[in-house]
Chain A
Amino acid sequence: MIAGLLSGDAPRSRILSALLLAILVALALAPFLFPGTRPLDVAAKVCVFVLLVASYDLLLGYTGIVSFAHTMFFGIGGYGVAIALSRMEPGWGAIALGTVAAVALSLALSFLVGLFSLRVKAIFFAMITLAVASFFAILASQLSDFTGGEDGITFKVPELLRSRVATYYLVFGVALGLFLVLLRIVNSPFGRVLLAIRENEFRAEALGYRTVIYRTLANCLGAVVATLAGALYALWLRYTGPNTTLDFSIMIDILLMVVIGGMGTMYGAVIGAAIFVVAQNYLQEAMKAFSGAMQGIPLLPDLFHPDRWLLWLGVLFVLSVYYFPAGIVGQLRARKKA
């Protein structure tokens, strides 16, 4: 049963299993374990980013596709729900319509981008996705009648979702379900072909796999899941704007989460997103306490001033990439083998 849910891809490390279980329990019981607005906000963001990062791992870690357009699809999901809910009666019909329209748009865009550019070298594909994503971000801020421009869109949600706990469980449930779907996809015969393409595309072709089809399909799947993550995030925030979805800094965050967690592992997305989002929200406070405790000692209080939190996050990244190039999951699994 559990093996089936995990698609036969067990964490393969006791520490990793314990970590994943702890994160699962913490997220599942978040409204009861951590009362308050802020912790629940962090938990919901973790859920959304686990899904978003996992869908990016499908591209980067499993297929070896470097795309910078992932936030675009994330944004399409967010705007789809926001536009539908702000213009129609705020009900489930609007959510469904907004989501379906967003998924359709993402599918079409990812298919086109994939078809035109996955044939070319990886670096060109990366540049094209960067250009398309930038174009889309500008479009979203310019079409202000439609998207609310830089201000974004605030909207009302259906009755049931006015309860934070109910919305949280919607986000949690959908994220968990889709994560398991992704886990199944990467462990299917199709998923193994993606790995083969990442490892040696030339040879995959020689075995008879038309790799452009596989890469395009992976690109579309990643885009659809990112779109759904965007829709969930919008429902949670009851707001969609450029800063919550399309901003390039979010793309960087996704990249960091996938690298820190461990590329090509899926579980890396869970670990990476959990650590990153929590650090993003609590590192400042931890530093404030630390800085306070260091009063009287020269230099240190300044060095750990809460305003330096980005510096320390940067140091953590450099250290983690340097010492764990395979990410946390890769490191934990390697240790078990040795």
Chain B
Amino acid sequence: MSHPVLETRGLTIRFGGHVAVNAVSCRFEPGTLTAIVGPNGAGKTTYFNLISGQLPASAGQVLLHGEDVTRDAAPVRTRKGMGRAFQLTNLFPNLTVLENVRLAVQARAGMGLNLISMWNSHIELIDKAENFLARVALAERRTALASELSHGDQRKLEVALLLALEPDIFMFDEPTAGMSVDEVPVILDLISEIKQQKDKTVLLVEHKMDVVRSLADRIIVLHQGELVADGAPAEVIASPVVQEAYLGVPARG
């Protein structure tokens, strides 16, 4: 039997008495974009943090290609093919835009422990980094410091770092949050390009229902840390539990 790319089994985290994510079991398949939706505080980002290893699970398992990675630290999971972009922009503020992406490219190339060669001498890595910058329409800002970018451009750089890792699993956490309307399509086009590659798996935490509708092949709904709905977009959005949990409309009957 072939394994799903990614699977969580009974994944749980407790903060003191509060159960932020409660026994979430879910399988993710390649070539699919799964949107994770739910109201604020539903545990979406926490669920992401458990999958990518930023938080340790209290119970349950994370399986990557069938291999249990629950005990692996975040960098190990990254090198096994998980890539994560963050909701709150999380960059290297006093490095240039190009250096930010170069660090991701270099991580992918496994060259971090090279002490001898000159940083600038690896043309192929720089070319690659430039290429990823071009894909998020940031090539012109390559010499700016990350901290000098506008909020929207920082979001794009965040996405460029994820692209540069060339992961099997792309995890986007509200990639378009706070972007101006005209910047959003660049990112959405990129995400839909990624999902067209049959060997890539995309997880997307998103608040905007129009974005979810246009991109998602499948929606899962978290509510108070629990998985309450899972299915094709149209049916999930229409289901009473979602109407109540997500849109605040009380279910009838």
Identify the A interface with B (CB < 8 A). Answer: 4, 7-8, 184-185, 187-193, 195-196, 199-200, 202-211, 213-214, 217
With known contacts A189-B112, A190-B114, A8–B91 Cβ distance under 8 A: no
Return chain A residues, CB-CB under 8 Å to B181: none
Closest Cβ of chain A: how far from B98's Cβ, in Å? 11
Return chain A residues, CB-CB under 8 Å to B99: 192, 195
Partner of A206 from the list B86, B93, B113 (CB cut-off 8 Å) is B86
Partner of A196 from the list B84, B92, B116 (CB cut-off 8 Å) is B92
Flag if B106 contacts A189 (CB, 8 Å): yes
With known contacts A188-B117, A189-B106, A205–B91 Cβ distance under 8 A: no
Flag if B119 contacts A8 (CB, 8 Å): yes
Return chain B residues, CB-CB under 8 Å to A210: 73, 75-76
How far apart sit A7 and B76, CA to CA, in the bound complex (Å)?
A: 31
Flag if A207 contacts B118 (CB, 8 Å): no
Return chain A residues, CB-CB under 8 Å to B165: 207-208
Return chain B residues, CB-CB under 8 Å to A188: 114-119
Return chain B residues, CB-CB under 8 Å to A4: 118
Return chain B residues, CB-CB under 8 Å to A191: 115, 119
Return chain B residues, CB-CB under 8 Å to A195: 92, 95, 99
Return chain A residues, CB-CB under 8 Å to B107: 207-209
Identify the B interface with A (CB < 8 A). Answer: 52, 54, 73-76, 78-79, 84, 86, 90-95, 99, 102-104, 106-108, 111-122, 161, 165
Partner of B117 from the list A189, A196, A199 (CB cut-off 8 Å) is A189
Closest Cβ of chain A: how far from B6's Cβ, in Å? 17
- Select from chain B the residue with minimum beta-carbon distance to A192: B119
Return chain B residues, CB-CB under 8 Å to A196: 92, 95, 103
Return chain B residues, CB-CB under 8 Å to A211: 75
Flag if A199 contacts B92 (CB, 8 Å): yes
With known contacts A188-B117, A189-B106, A208–B78 Cβ distance under 8 A: yes
Flag if B103 contacts A207 (CB, 8 Å): yes
How far apart sit A205 and B115, CA to CA, in the bound complex (Å)?
A: 19
Q: How many A-B residue pairs have CB under 8 A?
A: 103
Partner of B112 from the list A184, A202, A209 (CB cut-off 8 Å) is A209
Contacts A/B (CB < 8 Å), 23 sampled: A8-B119, A8-B121, A189-B106, A189-B117, A190-B113, A190-B114, A192-B99, A195-B95, A200-B90, A200-B91, A202-B54, A202-B90, A203-B86, A206-B74, A206-B84, A207-B78, A207-B103, A208-B75, A208-B79, A209-B75, A211-B75, A214-B112, A217-B113
Flag if B75 contacts A189 (CB, 8 Å): no
With known contacts A188-B115, A199-B95, A205-B73, A8–B120 Cβ distance under 8 A: yes
Q: A195-B92, A210-B75 are in contact. List 17 more A-B contacts (CB 8 A).
A: A7-B118, A7-B119, A184-B118, A188-B118, A189-B122, A190-B112, A191-B119, A192-B102, A193-B103, A195-B99, A196-B103, A200-B93, A202-B54, A205-B74, A206-B74, A206-B75, A208-B165
- Select from chain B the residue with minimum beta-carbon distance to A197: B92
How far apart sit A208 and B84, CA to CA, in the bound complex (Å)?
A: 10
How far apart sit A5 and B95, CA to CA, in the bound complex (Å)?
A: 23
How far apart sit A203 and B188, CA to CA, in the bound complex (Å)?
A: 23
Return chain A residues, CB-CB under 8 Å to B52: 206
How far apart sit A195 and B92, CA to CA, in the bound complex (Å)?
A: 9
Return chain A residues, CB-CB under 8 Å to B114: 188-190
How far apart sit A215 and B86, CA to CA, in the bound complex (Å)?
A: 24
Return chain A residues, CB-CB under 8 Å to B78: 205-208
How far apart sit A203 and B100, CA to CA, in the bound complex (Å)?
A: 10
How far apart sit A204 and B121, CA to CA, in the bound complex (Å)?
A: 22
Partner of B118 from the list A187, A203, A208 (CB cut-off 8 Å) is A187
- Select from chain B the residue with minimum beta-carbon distance to A7: B118
How far apart sit A54 and B91, CA to CA, in the bound complex (Å)?
A: 27
- Select from chain A the residue with minimum beta-carbon distance to B90: A203
Partner of A205 from the list B75, B111, B122, B161 (CB cut-off 8 Å) is B75
Return chain A residues, CB-CB under 8 Å to B104: 207
- Select from chain B the residue with minimum beta-carbon distance to A188: B115
How far apart sit A193 and B109, CA to CA, in the bound complex (Å)?
A: 13
Flag if B92 contacts A200 (CB, 8 Å): yes
- Select from chain B the residue with minimum beta-carbon distance to A221: B115
How far apart sit A200 and B103, CA to CA, in the bound complex (Å)?
A: 12
How far apart sit A191 and B204, CA to CA, in the bound complex (Å)?
A: 33
How far apart sit A190 and B74, CA to CA, in the bound complex (Å)?
A: 19
With known contacts A196-B92, A208-B165, A8–B118 Cβ distance under 8 A: yes
Flag if A203 contacts B119 (CB, 8 Å): no
Return chain B residues, CB-CB under 8 Å to A213: 113
- Select from chain A the residue with minimum beta-carbon distance to B76: A210
Closest Cβ of chain A: how far from B172's Cβ, in Å? 13
How far apart sit A210 and B113, CA to CA, in the bound complex (Å)?
A: 11
How far apart sit A93 and B6, CA to CA, in the bound complex (Å)?
A: 60
- Select from chain A the residue with minimum beta-carbon distance to B114: A189
Flag if A190 contacts B115 (CB, 8 Å): yes
Which 3 A-B pairs give the minimum distances between C-beta atoms? Answer: A208-B78, A199-B92, A207-B107
